């Protein structure tokens, strides 16, 4: 099984993923951005603004997840923003074709809180990406209609990551959809 944590940058995906991996048996985090980093070396001559634009990224995310699950089993927690509906459909369809169930959660936070989180994030890699993260707030808001249809939306504005992770773990264990709160 895959538990996909979607949402814009600053919503708490990475922190929630770390908490969640400790709550689900045999869970491990699969950082699909590493696939993008690997492809940057190979596809540096192919123009793109985001590695998700590369068809091989989407295919390799599916194949890597399938290979890892075949090898070790358990649950993969994937903290990855996907804001293009076609890309998400390609990934979801690819995983379904391999028989891998996916629980898709969208961590949502209002714009004001996101902006504050982005500006106050002290991690070096976050500070250098602040402008990029801020530039993705509008595309995230534009993607919300399809994200609401495709995933379970959880408001993380005033909820600590540990509580969000418990909510997700409970939903995964119960295998029942959670109400959207947004």
pLDDT at 4: 98
Residue 178 has pLDDT above 80, yes or no: no
pLDDT tens-digit readout, 46-88: 998 889 999 999 999 999 999 999 999 999 999 999 999 999 9
Burial class for 172, CB neighbours closer than 10 Å (0-12, 13-18, 19+): buried
Residue 138 has pLDDT above 50, yes or no: yes
User: Other CB atoms closer than 10 Å to residue 154's CB: what's the count?
Assistant: 26
Task: Work out the percent of the chain whose per-residue pLDDT is above 70.
Answer: 93
- The band of 118, judged by pLDDT with boundaries at 50, 70 and 90, is confident
| Cβ 13 vs Cβ 79: under 8 Å | yes
- The band of 32, judged by pLDDT with boundaries at 50, 70 and 90, is very high
Burial class for 8, CB neighbours closer than 10 Å (0-12, 13-18, 19+): buried
Strand order in the sheet with 152-155: 27-29, 75-79, 2-6, 102-108, 152-155
pLDDT at 180: 46
pLDDT at 85: 97
| Cβ 6 vs Cβ 80: under 8 Å | yes
Domains along the chain? 2-174 (3.40.50.300)
Please, what's the b/e burial string for 109-134 (b: 16 or more CB within 10 A of its CB; e: otherwise)?
A: beeeebbebbeebeeeebeebbeebb
- The band of 133, judged by pLDDT with boundaries at 50, 70 and 90, is confident
Model's pTM, two decimal places? 0.91
pLDDT at 75: 97
Residue 24 has pLDDT above 50, yes or no: yes
Please, what's the b/e burial string for 20-52 (b: 16 or more CB within 10 A of its CB; e: otherwise)?
A: bbebbeebebbebbebbeebeeebeeeeeeebb
């Amino acid at each position: 099984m895959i538990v996909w944590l979607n949402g814009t940058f600053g919503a708490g995906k990475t922190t929630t993923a770390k908490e969640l991996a400790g709550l689900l048996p045999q869970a491990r985090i699969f950082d699909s951005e590493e696939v993008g980093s690997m492809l940057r070396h190979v596809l540096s001559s192919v123009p793109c603004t985001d590695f998700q634009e590369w068809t091989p990224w989407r295919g390799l995310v599916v194949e890597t997840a399938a290979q890892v699950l075949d090898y070790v089993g358990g649950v993969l927690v994937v903290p990855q923003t996907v804001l293009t509906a076609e890309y998400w459909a390609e990934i979801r369809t690819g995983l379904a074709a391999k028989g891998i169930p996916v629980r898709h959660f969208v961590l949502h936070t209002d714009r004001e809180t996101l902006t504050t989180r982005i500006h106050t994030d002290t991690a070096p890699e976050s500070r250098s990406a602040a402008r990029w993260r801020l530039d993705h707030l509008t595309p995230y808001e534009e993607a919300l209609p399809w994200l609401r249809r495709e995933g379970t939306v959880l408001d993380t504005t005033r909820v600590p990551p540990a509580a969000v992770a418990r909510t997700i773990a409970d939903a995964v264990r119960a295998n029942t959809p959670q109400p959207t709160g947004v």
